[in-house]
């Protein structure tokens, strides 16, 4: 009897899944997508926390390499679902259930991050990742059925994702292995994953919605920058626990907020992201955000490292603690240049973010975090001013041509 009710429930709740219109107005993130983001933030927070502890105890190479591995898996699974949902989300029962399967894989992967950092155990991360990716295989097979015009594209996605999962399972079965071979073979697997969309989309472009994807990526960036807010909250909690307040500890919450606001301001500027809908632009923009997201989370971890350094619980030098914040800021700026500024500016302003990306870590080593923060504020001001002047110049040129 319960099976009969389940069957009726599925039949009544399953609808056709045709492609969504690319010019659909008022397209926004759905509550299910926001729930998916909430699951992703758990995994991101776990990876950032482990990076914080590794760097604070001078395990630089091990901590950064494991963070990159874990973060790639989190970001890649989130990104693939987001692009698929932009093209095919019909919000029926089957779509919701498959999305929840992908969420279950994300939670499994998050549970495996700590064992991976502690003793190199990949099992839970790979199992969670494969669950997420098998959910995507089922999504693409369903799209192949309901969108026959893009059958070659959707089946290429399904077959490519499935084959790469066999590679990940094989890698998991070969554990443990030396760190060099793990990094090398993981890098090969990451390249294979990145190739699947590039090959599939050449069979025919999926109908993703430009403004929807801009919103989705912006929302994840806010979530990632939340790691800096968390670090600021940690600093404030330590302030209340200290009997004797020091200026070094007192300045960290304010410093974290200044850095957070600057990074937010630079990302959410007047110039729109993803100005073209070509495959090359979509791949550059979509893949390039890995630098932005990983660096944004690492900034929060770096602030936490500086808290430990002030409290005396870190084993690294003050200059290394400063670099734990300034180097991720540099990567964040380079990521923004890669996905947006190189396409929207001309002349010297085109290279403003790379210039500050080089200057901030150097100045931070000479003058500390506040010098780096002041330069970041200057970067925001100069870039905003240049964007305003470029906008006026463009408008004046358009008016003259008319």
Q: What is the pLDDT of residues 3-26, one digit of tens each?
A: 665 565 556 578 888 889 888 888
In the predicted model, what is the mean pLDDT of the chain?
A: 88
Residue 356 has what pLDDT?
A: 96
Pair of tokens at residue 130: 């494969």
Residue 379 lies in a domain: yes
Look-up: residue for tokens 């009726």?
8
Residue 289 lies in a domain: yes
| Residue 366 reports pLDDT greater than 90 | yes
Look at residues 376, 385, 377, 375 and name the one whose alpha carbon lies nearest to residue 348: 385
183 with 328, same domain?
A: no
Q: How confident is the model at residue 251 (pLDDT cuts 50, 70, 90)?
A: confident
**For the purposes of burial, counting CB atoms within 10 Å of the CB of 19, is it exposed (0-12), middle (13-18) or buried (19 or more)?**
middle
What percentage of residues in the chain have a pLDDT greater than 70? 89
* Under 8 Å between Cβ of 37 and 154: no
Residue 348 has what pLDDT?
A: 77
Q: How many domains does the chain have?
A: 2
164 with 224, same domain?
A: no
Residue 382 lies in a domain: yes
Residue 2 lies in a domain: no
Query: Residue 74, CB half-sphere, CA atoms under 13 Å: how many?
Result: 33
Residue 142 lies in a domain: yes
Q: How confident is the model at residue 240 (pLDDT cuts 50, 70, 90)?
A: low
Measured CA to CA, the distance from residue 25 to residue 341 in angstroms comes to: 27
Measured CA to CA, the distance from residue 129 to residue 167 in angstroms comes to: 12
Residue 10 has what pLDDT?
A: 57
Q: How far, in Å, are 217, 311, 359 from residue 289 at the CA level? A: 8, 34, 22
| Residue 232 reports pLDDT greater than 90 | no
Measured CA to CA, the distance from residue 203 to residue 147 in angstroms comes to: 14
156 with 280, same domain?
A: no
Q: How confident is the model at residue 312 (pLDDT cuts 50, 70, 90)?
A: confident
Residue 282 lies in a domain: yes
Look-up: residue for tokens 């690492």?
298
Neighbouring CB atoms inside 10 A of 14's CB total: 15
Pair of tokens at residue 109: 């992967």
Measured CA to CA, the distance from residue 57 to residue 287 in angstroms comes to: 31
146 with 221, same domain?
A: no
137 with 228, same domain?
A: no
Boundary (domain end) residue, out of 201, 221, 246: 201
Pair of tokens at residue 215: 């919103």
Say which DSSP state 349 is in: G
253 with 141, same domain?
A: no
Pair of tokens at residue 271: 């110039």
249 with 317, same domain?
A: yes
Measured CA to CA, the distance from residue 373 to residue 124 in angstroms comes to: 38
269 with 135, same domain?
A: no
Residue 2 has what pLDDT?
A: 64
Residue 393 has what pLDDT?
A: 53
- Least confident among 64-78, 141-155, 344-358, 377-391: 377-391
244 with 262, same domain?
A: yes
Measured CA to CA, the distance from residue 126 to residue 219 in angstroms comes to: 26
Residue 12 has what pLDDT?
A: 58
Domain that holds residue 189: 29-201
Boundary (domain end) residue, out of 176, 201, 226: 201
Q: How far, in Å, are 105, 145, 155, 165 from residue 15 at the CA level? A: 25, 12, 20, 29
Residue 8 lies in a domain: no
* Helices (H), ranges, 242-278: 247-267
Boundary (domain end) residue, out of 154, 171, 201: 201
Residue 4 lies in a domain: no
Each residue of 37-54: pLDDT tens digit?
A: 988 888 898 899 899 999
Three-state DSSP state, 278: coil
Measured CA to CA, the distance from residue 47 to residue 301 in angstroms comes to: 9
172 with 215, same domain?
A: no
87 with 104, same domain?
A: yes
359 with 243, same domain?
A: yes
């Amino acid at each position: 009897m319960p099976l009969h009710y389940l069957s009726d429930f599925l039949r009544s709740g399953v609808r056709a899944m045709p492609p969504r219109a690319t010019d659909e107005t008022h397209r926004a993130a759905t509550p299910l997508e926001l729930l998916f983001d909430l699951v992703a933030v758990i995994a991101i927070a776990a990876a950032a926390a482990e990076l914080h502890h590794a760097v604070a105890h001078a395990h630089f190479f091990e901590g950064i390499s494991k963070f990159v591995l874990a973060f790639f898996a989190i970001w890649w699974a989130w990104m693939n679902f987001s692009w698929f949902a932009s093209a095919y989300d019909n919000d029926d029962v089957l779509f919701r259930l498959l999305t929840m399967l992908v969420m279950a894989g994300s939670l499994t992967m998050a549970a495996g991050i700590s064992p991976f950092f502690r003793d190199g155990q990949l099992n839970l991360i790979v199992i969670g990742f494969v669950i997420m990716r098998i959910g995507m295989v089922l999504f693409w097979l369903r799209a192949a059925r309901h969108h026959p015009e893009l059958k070659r594209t959707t089946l290429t996605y399904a077959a490519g994702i499935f084959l790469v999962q066999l590679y990940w399972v094989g890698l998991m079965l070969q554990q443990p292995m030396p760190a060099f071979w793990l990094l090398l073979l993981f890098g090969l697997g990451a390249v294979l994953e990145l190739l699947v969309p590039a090959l599939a989309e050449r069979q025919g472009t999926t109908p993703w919605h430009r403004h929807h994807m801009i919103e989705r990526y912006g929302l994840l960036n806010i979530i990632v920058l939340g790691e800096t807010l968390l670090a600021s909250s940690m600093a404030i909690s330590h302030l209340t626990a200290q009997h004797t307040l020091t200026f070094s500890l007192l300045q960290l919450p304010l410093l974290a907020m200044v850095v957070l606001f600057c990074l937010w301001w630079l990302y959410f500027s007047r110039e729109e992201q993803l100005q073209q809908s070509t495959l090359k632009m979509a791949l550059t923009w979509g893949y390039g955000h890995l630098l932005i997201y990983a660096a944004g989370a690492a900034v929060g971890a770096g602030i936490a490292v500086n808290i430990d350094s002030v409290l005396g619980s870190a084993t690294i030098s003050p200059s290394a603690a400063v670099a734990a914040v300034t180097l991720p800021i540099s990567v964040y700026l380079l990521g923004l240049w890669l996905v947006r500024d190189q396409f929207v500016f001309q002349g010297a302003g085109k290279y403003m973010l790379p210039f500050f990306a080089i200057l901030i870590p150097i100045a931070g080593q000479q003058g500390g975090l506040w010098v780096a923060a002041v330069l970041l504020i200057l970067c925001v001001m100069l870039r905003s001013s240049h964007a305003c002047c470029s906008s006026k110049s463009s408008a004046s040129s358009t008016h003259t041509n008319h």
